[in-house]
Amino acid sequence: MKVFHGRAGAASERRGNGDTFTGVVWADPVMPSTDGVTINTVCFEPGGRTYWHSHERGQILQVTAGQGWICVEGGKPEVIRQGDVVWIGPNERHWHGGSADSFMVHIATSLGKSTWQEAVSEHDYPPSALR
């Protein structure tokens, strides 16, 4: 058993235009990566989104505020809203983020190694992808 008290010393990390996110994205660790499990609260500003990626043993997203998008490779983007929970299966290539006109906050529980790939193109990001 491990107990993590509060978030003393933990700081938000603003990311964007790097190798994992497009746009303005804030990530707050809920706990340090432990036994192959990583938990972060992630806030996407409008238009902010992940790159394409996958997780060795899957990922759970719990949307706590706002509205955004999730898309698995080969599928159409789907709207996700506050209160939604999403299961992404092991090694399923996907992306997620805020909508063009709304922020989105979710708690992301990632299981196993995360593999980051290329940025989501403007063509694949709504509203372009829905035409």
Domain count of the fold of the chain: 1
CATH of the domain at 67: 2.60.120.10
Q: Does 130 map to a domain? A: no
Q: Is the bond leading into 90 cis (omega within 30 degrees of zero)? A: no
Q: What is the pLDDT of residues 69-95, one digit of tens each?
A: 999 999 999 999 999 999 999 999 999
End-to-end Cα separation, the chain, in angstroms? 49
Residue 88, strand partner residues: 59
Give the pTM.
0.90
How far apart are alpha carbons 131 and 126 in whole angstroms? Answer: 9
Q: Does 5 map to a domain? A: no
- The domain in which residue 103 lies consists of 13-124
The helix, strand and coil proportions of the chain, stated in percent and rounded to the nearest 5, come to 0, 50, 45
How far apart are alpha carbons 7 and 28 in whole angstroms? Answer: 9
Q: CA angle, 76 as apex, 104 and 85 as ends, to 5°?
A: 40
Residue 130 pLDDT: 66
Regions of the chain where pLDDT drops below 70: 7-17, 129-131
Q: Does 72 map to a domain? A: yes
Q: Does 114 map to a domain? A: yes
Residue 8 pLDDT: 45
Q: Does 112 map to a domain? A: yes
CA distances from 98 to 1, 6, 9, 64, 88 (A): 35, 27, 27, 12, 17
